[in-house]
């Protein structure tokens, strides 16, 4: 059995926690030890060998995928990461994975979004294996038993019994509250967005109902060429599931939640005696039914408030009513109209070699960063035309290349680079390297970097 993990989403409904450069699938939420992507990868290992797991993502997240798997202490084939050149929704992404799989013959395939919570992984793996005979002539979607009239999910109308599932009569769009009540009374399921099929059956359905996508991959040597021939932006639901007469639903009780908004946190994370979800550092007095999450080291004090969502990051503060968090996407849209980069970046940004945090800055004068380089990693060999840099090592030992000369800088020592000097930072040690970088100059933006290799330090 093969597994496809979809890891290209930007998670705008969880802003400001989730940013385009570091979306929700890679965040460790509410003190969790593993990110949603890492949990999904481990779930996939219950079904597939590691070499039979394919991740479809974009170039911005490729290194996040590799880093997340490395953190789990697995060795993963980089060629199994399929990079979408453009975001064209779920059907082209899934078919890119299927196209790669069938190069070695047809097989059963499970498709997981990378940003969902599933509490009962072992139970779900058993159901998936039990459902494999159904893939002989059906494309399966897994249906969640509703626990209330949720208007944020699509619904599935089941028909006649078929093995351990049901033939799908129809799919219903996100309903009004009244319609949701009606659907629940009729025994409908939530659409979890998790799929299973035989690659042969699925390829045939794509050929029948999305010929453009099928032909794009048939006439291309790689995913980049294929995507250049696809003009539609279409989900698997619209492209296949709502058209095909070979669709089945398998009901599951697996502790599922798609974390589609901050409201859904109340279904997943532990609350205190007053129904608050909060970091331990915060102070909450005479307050109830609140979700409060703050930047590490920053205290939020809440007094006499109810039904609020408060997300306090270093560079952005979100305050909204508990039942209004679906509208956070509107905030992101408004920021994008202003060309505000806080939709894409936070004060902390993640790179193939580690991450950095902006501590202080003054436009066109100076910028101070705290940079962490993971063990064995290195930055690109680079220079800057409009700024100098001063590095102070605070933890570990830095291997520094300056105009071709190698130097070692230890904790408490520093090194300075003039404008135009070629330099590279590298961590030769077995623990993370941390430095403070002070940039000085009249232009401190990213496009002042001239790289002589890539951000992985590769030619």
**Per-residue model confidence as pLDDT tens digits over 365-413:** 999 999 999 999 999 999 999 999 999 999 999 999 999 999 999 999 9
Q: 119 and 23 in one domain? A: yes
Domains contained in the chain, number: 3
In a domain, 126, yes or no: yes
Give the pLDDT confidence of 58-112 residue by residue, as tens digits: 988 998 999 899 889 999 999 999 999 999 999 999 999 999 999 999 999 999 9
Selection from 377, 362, 351, 314 nearest residue 449 by Cα: 351
In a domain, 332, yes or no: no
Instruction: Identify which has the larger pLDDT, 48 or 354.
Output: 48
pLDDT at 211 exceeding the cut of 80: yes
pLDDT for 454: 75
Of 206, 236, 260, the position where a domain reaches its end is: 260
In a domain, 340, yes or no: no
Q: 184 and 72 in one domain? A: yes
In a domain, 334, yes or no: no
Q: 271 and 127 in one domain? A: no
Q: What is the pTM of this model?
A: 0.88
Q: 86 and 181 in one domain? A: yes
Do the beta carbons of residue 360 and residue 437 sit within 8 Å? no
Cα separations in angstroms, 190 against 37, 130, 160, 285, 401: 22, 21, 18, 37, 56
pLDDT for 21: 86
pLDDT for 174: 85
| Torsional class of 404: left (φ above 0), alpha (ψ -120 to 50), beta (otherwise) | left
Selection from 178, 157, 179 nearest residue 168 by Cα: 157
Per DSSP (E only), the strands in 67-184 are 81-84, 108-113, 117-118, 139-144, 155-162, 165-172
Give the pLDDT confidence of 282-329 residue by residue, as tens digits: 999 999 999 999 887 789 999 999 999 999 988 899 999 998 998 999
Q: 196 and 140 in one domain? A: yes
Residues in the chain: 459
The CA distance from 131 to 401, in Å, is 56
In a domain, 337, yes or no: no
Do the beta carbons of residue 50 and residue 20 sit within 8 Å? no
Phi, psi for residue 427 in degrees, rounded to 5: -110, 105
* Rounded average pLDDT over 409-435: 95
What does pLDDT average to over the chain?
92
Selection from 60, 53, 101 nearest residue 84 by Cα: 60
Q: 59 and 123 in one domain? A: yes
Give the pLDDT confidence of 325-353 residue by residue, as tens digits: 989 999 999 999 999 988 988 877 888 89
How many helices and strands in the chain, by DSSP H and E?
Answer: 10, 28
pLDDT range class, residue 457, cuts 50, 70, 90: low
Q: 199 and 165 in one domain? A: yes
Give the pLDDT confidence of 441-453 residue by residue, as tens digits: 988 777 778 888 8
Q: 184 and 271 in one domain? A: no
| Token pair in block for residue 281 | 């550092």
Residues 6+ apart with CB under 8 A from 142: 127, 192, 194, 195, 196, 249, 250, 251, 252
pLDDT for 450: 87
The single residue listed with the structure tokens 């039942």 is 323
Q: 268 and 253 in one domain? A: no
CATH number at residue 438: 2.60.120.10
The single residue listed with the structure tokens 């926690």 is 17
In a domain, 333, yes or no: no
In a domain, 336, yes or no: no
Of 214, 237, 260, the position where a domain reaches its end is: 260
pLDDT range class, residue 456, cuts 50, 70, 90: low
The CA distance from 382 to 453, in Å, is 8
The CA distance from 156 to 178, in Å, is 16
* Rounded average pLDDT over 412-425: 95
Domain range for residue 315? 263-327
Q: 208 and 136 in one domain? A: yes
* Rounded average pLDDT over 197-226: 96
Of 260, 282, 302, the position where a domain reaches its end is: 260
pLDDT for 307: 96
CATH number at residue 177: 3.90.550.10
pLDDT for 57: 96
Q: 256 and 281 in one domain? A: no
% helix, strand, coil for the chain, step of 5: 30, 35, 35
In a domain, 335, yes or no: no
Q: 134 and 20 in one domain? A: yes
DSSP 71: H
């Amino acid at each position: 059995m093969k597994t496809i993990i979809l890891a290209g989403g930007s998670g705008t409904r969880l802003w400001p926690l989730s940013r385009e450069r570091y979306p929700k699938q890679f965040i460790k939420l509410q003190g969790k030890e593993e990110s949603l992507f890492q949990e999904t990868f481990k779930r996939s290992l219950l079904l597939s060998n590691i070499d039979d797991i394919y991740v479809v993502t974009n170039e911005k997240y490729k290194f996040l995928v590799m880093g997340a798997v490395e953190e789990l202490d697995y060795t993963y084939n980089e060629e199994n990461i399929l990079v979408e050149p453009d975001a064209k929704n779920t059907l082209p992404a899934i078919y890119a994975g299927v196209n790669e799989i069938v190069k070695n013959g047809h097989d059963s395939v499970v498709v997981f979004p990378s940003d969902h919570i599933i509490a009962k992984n072992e139970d779900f793996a058993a159901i998936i294996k039990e459902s494999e005979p159904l893939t002989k002539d059906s494309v399966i979607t897994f249906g969640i038993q509703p626990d209330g009239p949720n208007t944020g999910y699509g619904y599935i109308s089941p028909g006649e019994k078929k093995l351990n599932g049901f033939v799908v009569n129809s799919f219903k769009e996100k309903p009004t509250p009244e319609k949701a009540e009606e659907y629940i009374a009729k025994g409908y399921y939530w659409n979890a967005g998790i799929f299973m099929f035989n690659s042969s059956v699925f390829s045939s359905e794509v050929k029948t109902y999305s010929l453009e996508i099928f032909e794009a991959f048939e006439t291309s040597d790689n995913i980049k060429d294929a995507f250049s021939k696809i003009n539609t932006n279409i989900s698997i639901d619209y492209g296949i599931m709502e058209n095909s007469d070979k669709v089945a639903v398998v009901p599951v009780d697996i502790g599922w939640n798609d974390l589609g908004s901050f409201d859904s946190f109340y279904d997943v994370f532990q609350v205190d005696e007053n129904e608050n979800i909060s970091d331990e550092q915060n102070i909450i007095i005479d307050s109830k039914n609140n979700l409060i999450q703050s930047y590490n080291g920053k205290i939020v004090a809440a007094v006499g408030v109810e039904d609020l969502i408060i997300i306090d990051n270093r560079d952005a503060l979100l305050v909204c009513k508990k039942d209004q968090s679906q509208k956070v996407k509107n905030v992101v849209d408004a920021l994008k109209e202003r060309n505000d980069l806080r939709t894409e970046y936070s004060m902390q940004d993640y790179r193939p070699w580690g991450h950095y945090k902006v501590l202080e800055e003054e436009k066109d004068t100076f910028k101070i960063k705290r940079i962490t380089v993971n063990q064995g990693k290195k930055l690109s060999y680079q220079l800057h035309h409009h700024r100098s840099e001063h590095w102070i090592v605070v933890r570990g030992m830095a291997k520094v290349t300056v105009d071709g000369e190698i130097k070692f800088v230890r904790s408490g020592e520093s090194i300075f680079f003039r404008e135009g000097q070629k330099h590279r930072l590298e961590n030769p040690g077995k623990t993370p390297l941390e430095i403070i970088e002070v940039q000085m100059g009249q232009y401190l933006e990213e496009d002042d970097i001239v790289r002589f290799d890539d951000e992985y330090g590769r030619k």
